[in-house]
Amino acid sequence: MRKTSAELAALVQGRLEGDPSLIITGVAGLREAQPGHVSFLDHPRYAPLLATTQASLALVTHGIKPPDGMSVIRVENPSVAFGKIIALVTPALPPHKPGIHPSAIVDPSASVHASASIQPFAVIEAKARVGANTLIGQGCHLGVEASVGDDCFFYPHVVIRERCLIGNRVILHPGAVIGSDGFGYDFVDGRFQKVPQVGIVRIDDDVEIGANTTVDRGRFGSTWIKRGVKIDNLVQIAHNVIIDENTAIAAQAGISGSTVIGKHVRIAGQAGTVGHITIGDGAILGAQSGVNHDVPNGQFVFGYPAQEHKEAMKTHAHIRRLPHLVERIRKLEKQIERLGGKVDI
Amino acid sequence: MRKTSAELAALVQGRLEGDPSLIITGVAGLREAQPGHVSFLDHPRYAPLLATTQASLALVTHGIKPPDGMSVIRVENPSVAFGKIIALVTPALPPHKPGIHPSAIVDPSASVHASASIQPFAVIEAKARVGANTLIGQGCHLGVEASVGDDCFFYPHVVIRERCLIGNRVILHPGAVIGSDGFGYDFVDGRFQKVPQVGIVRIDDDVEIGANTTVDRGRFGSTWIKRGVKIDNLVQIAHNVIIDENTAIAAQAGISGSTVIGKHVRIAGQAGTVGHITIGDGAILGAQSGVNHDVPNGQFVFGYPAQEHKEAMKTHAHIRRLPHLVERIRKLEKQIERLGGKVDI
Amino acid sequence: MRKTSAELAALVQGRLEGDPSLIITGVAGLREAQPGHVSFLDHPRYAPLLATTQASLALVTHGIKPPDGMSVIRVENPSVAFGKIIALVTPALPPHKPGIHPSAIVDPSASVHASASIQPFAVIEAKARVGANTLIGQGCHLGVEASVGDDCFFYPHVVIRERCLIGNRVILHPGAVIGSDGFGYDFVDGRFQKVPQVGIVRIDDDVEIGANTTVDRGRFGSTWIKRGVKIDNLVQIAHNVIIDENTAIAAQAGISGSTVIGKHVRIAGQAGTVGHITIGDGAILGAQSGVNHDVPNGQFVFGYPAQEHKEAMKTHAHIRRLPHLVERIRKLEKQIERLGGKVDI
């Protein structure tokens, strides 16, 4: 890359404050940046890094005061703007050719759009469907009657089991498993007897699911992941869970069977919920929290077992003060004895 | 589906209470059911749903009183009975053809039963063995001298490493890894030196293992999963663990090395154990619990670190009452001062 | 195996104490050993097993006193010495032939060393590089411009996405995913907008990564796993994490984005860290701990939220004594009343 600061300001439609003729040759985070690099301030809490960074130019939002002499470009959303500059310096991958690789195995009754790209060693079973411009990666498996919409991108080794329905613009990372059997058994005569899992998984438009994440099919009916939901790596979504639009779930979280999660919920890493509960719209589940009851709309819960966040913080503060509390009780006991009371402990 | 309530009662060998001529056209959960659907009551705690469901017919166990006018079929185990009705309405998948797909690679020294089905891109290495009616899914890997019994079903991308022994009627879901190296190193001269992991994994009859679950081989000897054990998705079983018959382990739980787990144990989601401990027969490990000591037969433990469940519940109740406790101490201090004592805090 | 105790002592360069003519026919752990077996004492805490084992011979370190009449071989490190004996009794796997299996697909612009072994159904994309003596397992995927050094071993279904750089002697277990997109979105107009993840993963020499573990590529720059790091199964390493040399991370742990982990750190199973923190050299994170702040060099932390380990132990002791504390307060209240104070609770 070799752009002037003025050219970059024009690219991101921002307001340059400083030298318009700086030559920018690379991009980096504030900590790693070298002279000649452009960087960005993602969050006001990192503002002190502006004083120590070696970056020549930084994208910042309104209200941030840069150190004297530092050139900045002001934009509404520095992260989004920085993305445009990154796109400039990222060499494009070679485009995937449309068509079915000769090593892939596509059942004659399957329907694959002419613009789709079926990569080596993929298997597409009977009556499955692949939409326009969708890429099915190396070794992926599409089961009988599975349906995948347009503009999807499946990385290698994704498994979609029979009859699952995937919308448009869905991204599935390597090793994601969609439609595995739910974990259900009847305990009969001292043994587990498998409960048939004959439902499906339905994934709506604009969903992204991380590497090695697993989404179980419904026992009957559907496990349903609605439009715009984003799920990280190694997450477990059990049978008949419903996740409403634009919810985000971080790595290694687990949602137990039949739990219903609202819109715009944020679930942090390694959090877990029991089954058959409801998480309200806009709720937040803190990292590693263990949620065993319904959570109302907009509530932030934390802890194990999870409490409303402020309550949880109070609880933890009390716990940390326990040694002090014991000391106070000890003094009270002494005073009681001094006053003639008896404390026989 | 189009069956009368009387026909369904006959199918599940239950006692119909209500209209024998209802026409039933579908199956659904109590919450999702529409008129014309049959549903079932899985657990008495959901009995209130009978009053609000739109289902025309429900399978219930003995002692449950349905709302006036609702037709029910009484059975011993509604979940098992419902399974029979679901089977009725689920279109069968096309059967898998026996034989070795031309794209699969089977070593000449391997032994594959004529009735087994080896799916595309599977690899079966030297001296490995596949029993009767077993299906080895797309892209599966059977290492040198691995042995798989009869009537097994391996979904795509299952990896069985060398010498592991799999019994009969074992189901392995996509991406399950059996026989990966245990995590063992000697720390020598400031570096980790790999400890050879030359044991195997032995999996007995009627075991089911979930998607992307990992089971490490023994350092020497075996990691051993006994008859009827059921393991969910994304579970970690470390080297030399022994799990006795009919134990169930939910998603994302982790069992550390050389721990021994009894029969009929239930381990809930995201629970973990340290290594080298013993979990007694019939024990229950609560969700997310962290178990760092032996658990006696039949004990229910919960929490982090895990305590006996009732103790853990008491502990949590005490923790939640801490603000109240502080208030009591404050009052005591005031009274002490009023009585002439000194509280210098 | 059929060796005398004297021969085994010579093999491991240890000092035999006892009968030099014992015939040893097998190896096993102390608990499982039968007469005729050699075993070893891994840690002094298991010393009582020496009294009950049926092993005929045991490797022990200095200072351990065996029961009367038991033959032992004294060595510096019994685990390392036992590894040499195990190697003796483990039948070698057939060597992998160098060369590219006819079913593998290697782009003409890729570079594969003549001594490398490319297993069936692997795909090596444009300009990717594979070094000497490296094995690329069944179904593995090497993306565009990915580079893999010498003497690596990739088990089946490993995915290395474009441009990632892997050093020498790196072992990747089945299903490991290297270079998946980081979990990053800008929230714009009520929807998530994907933040491009255009960095790479860099893995240095002598790293080992477990089955189904996921390592995300940097948003820009690198996620960097340095020399000698060992990572267990089902671990999540988020984008732009840096892990310094000789650190070990146990199963199901998760490291959030941009966190920096020092040298010789030990992270136990199911532990998690928030993003953007620093874990000092030699620190230890206890099992299931939830770390939300920097950890100084050498500090052992435990708990959720994590505290310094001794503090955490004190905290837990206080928590367990809460019922006792409540009892003391009740007595104080009685005494206050007896002394004429008022306690209106």
What six digits make up the tokens of C18?
């006892």
Contact list, B230 vs chain A (CB under 8 Å): 183, 185, 192
Q: Check whether residue C192 and residue C305 sit in a common domain.
A: yes
Chain C contact partners (≥3 CB pairs within 8 A): A, B
Look up B324 and say whether it is catalytic.
no
Residue C94 lies in a domain: no
Written as one string, the DSSP assignment of B271-333 is -EE-SS-EE-TT-EE-TT-EE-S-B-TT-EEETTTTEEHHHHHHHHHHHHTHHHHHHHHHHHH
Assess contact for C14 and C41: CB atoms under 8 A.
no
What six digits make up the tokens of C323?
């019922």
Domain coverage including residue C339: 317-345
Nearest to A217 by CA among A164, A258, A158: A164
- Put simply, whether A159 touches B (Cβ < 8 Å) is yes
Q: φ, ψ for residue A248 (rounded to 5)? A: -125, 135
Distance of CA C67 to the CA centre of its chain: 34
Question: B255-312 pLDDT, tens per residue?
Answer: 999 999 999 999 999 999 999 999 999 999 999 999 999 999 999 999 999 999 999 9
Q: How far apart are CA A110 and CA A191, in angstroms?
A: 40
Q: Check whether residue A68 and residue A125 sit in a common domain.
A: no
Nearest to B230 by CA among B256, B215, B200, B250: B250
Question: B312-331 pLDDT, tens per residue?
Answer: 999 999 998 998 899 999 98
Q: Check whether residue C160 and residue C285 sit in a common domain.
A: yes
Residue A94 lies in a domain: no
Q: Check whether residue B174 and residue B268 sit in a common domain.
A: yes
Q: How confident is the model at residue C1 (pLDDT cuts 50, 70, 90)?
A: confident
Contact list, B161 vs chain C (CB under 8 Å): 155, 174
Q: How far apart are CA A297 and CA B84, in angstroms?
A: 39
Q: Check whether residue B120 and residue B184 sit in a common domain.
A: yes
Residue A341 pLDDT greater than 80, yes or no: no
Q: How confident is the model at residue B343 (pLDDT cuts 50, 70, 90)?
A: low
Question: C292-320 pLDDT, tens per residue?
Answer: 999 999 999 999 999 999 999 999 999 98
Q: Check whether residue A12 and residue A75 sit in a common domain.
A: yes
Q: How far apart are CA B269 and CA B16, in angstroms?
A: 38
Question: A78-120 pLDDT, tens per residue?
Answer: 999 998 998 888 878 888 999 999 999 999 999 999 999 999 9
Question: C114-168 pLDDT, tens per residue?
Answer: 999 999 999 999 999 999 999 999 999 999 999 999 999 999 999 999 999 999 9
Q: How far apart are CA C36 and CA C201, in angstroms?
A: 49
For residue A86, what is the enclosing H or E element?
helix A78-89
The contacts of residue C244 (CB under 8 Å, 6+ apart) are: C226, C229, C260, C261, C262, C263, C265, C281
**What CATH number is given to the structural domain containing B104?**
2.160.10.10
CB nearest to A198's CB, from B86, B137, B228? B86
Chain B contact partners (≥3 CB pairs within 8 A): A, C
Contact list, C173 vs chain B (CB under 8 Å): 177, 180-181
Q: Check whether residue B226 and residue B164 sit in a common domain.
A: yes
Tell me which of C89, C124, C149 is where a domain ends: C89
Residue C344 pLDDT greater than 60, yes or no: no
C22-54 residues labelled b (16+ CB within 10 A) or e (exposed)? bebebbbbbbbbeebbbbbbbeeeebebbeebe
Assess contact for C2 and C14: CB atoms under 8 A.
no
Residue A338 pLDDT greater than 90, yes or no: no
Residue B94 lies in a domain: no
Nearest to C216 by CA among A163, B259, A210: A210
Question: A265-297 pLDDT, tens per residue?
Answer: 999 999 999 999 999 999 999 999 999 999 999
Written as one string, the DSSP assignment of B124-137 is E-TT-EE-TT-EE-
Q: Check whether residue C153 and residue C290 sit in a common domain.
A: yes
pLDDT, mean of residues B222-226? 97
Question: A120-157 pLDDT, tens per residue?
Answer: 999 999 999 999 999 999 999 999 999 999 999 999 99
Considering only residues 65 to 124 of chain B, which have any Cβ-Cβ distance to chain A shorter than 8 Å?
A: 77, 79-80, 83, 86-87, 90, 93-94, 103, 119-121
Q: Check whether residue B150 and residue B253 sit in a common domain.
A: yes
Confidence at residue A344, expressed as pLDDT on a 0 to 100 scale: 58
Number of domains observed in the structure of chain C: 3
Confidence at residue C343, expressed as pLDDT on a 0 to 100 scale: 63
Q: How far apart are CA A84 and CA C275, in angstroms?
A: 24
What six digits make up the tokens of B265?
């144990």
Q: Check whether residue B126 and residue B193 sit in a common domain.
A: yes
C-beta neighbour count of C94 within 10 angstroms = 13
Whole-prediction pTM value?
Answer: 0.94
Tell me which of A89, A109, A143 is where a domain ends: A89
Q: In this complex, do B183 and C29 lie within 8 Å of one another by their Cβ atoms? A: no
* Selected residue with higher pLDDT from A196 and B125: B125
Q: Check whether residue B128 and residue B170 sit in a common domain.
A: yes
Q: Which ipTM did the prediction report?
A: 0.93
Amino acid at A23: I
Residue C146 lies in a domain: yes
CB nearest to C126's CB, from A94, A269, A303? A94
Q: How confident is the model at residue A345 (pLDDT cuts 50, 70, 90)?
A: very low
Written as one string, the DSSP assignment of C34-75 is -TTEEEE--SGGGTTHHHH---SEEEE-TT--PPTT-EEEE-
The burial of B186, by beta-carbon neighbours within 10 Å (0-12 exposed, 13-18 middle, 19 or more buried), is given as middle
Distance of CA B322 to the CA centre of its chain: 37
Q: In this complex, do B339 and A338 lie within 8 Å of one another by their Cβ atoms? A: no
Confidence at residue A94, expressed as pLDDT on a 0 to 100 scale: 85
Nearest to B233 by CA among A267, C271, A254, C172: A254
User: Taking all residues of chain B, what is their mean pLDDT, rounded to a whole number?
Assistant: 94
Closest residue in B to C345 (Cα–Cα)? B328
Q: What are the strands of the beta sheet with C208-209, ordered from one edge?
A: C99-100, C117-118, C135-136, C153-154, C171-172, C208-209, C230-231, C248-249, C266-267, C284-285, C300-302, C307-308
Q: How far apart are CA B322 and CA A322, in angstroms?
A: 9
Tell me which of B66, B89, B112 is where a domain ends: B89
Question: B33-56 pLDDT, tens per residue?
Answer: 999 999 999 888 889 999 999 999
The burial of A35, by beta-carbon neighbours within 10 Å (0-12 exposed, 13-18 middle, 19 or more buried), is given as exposed
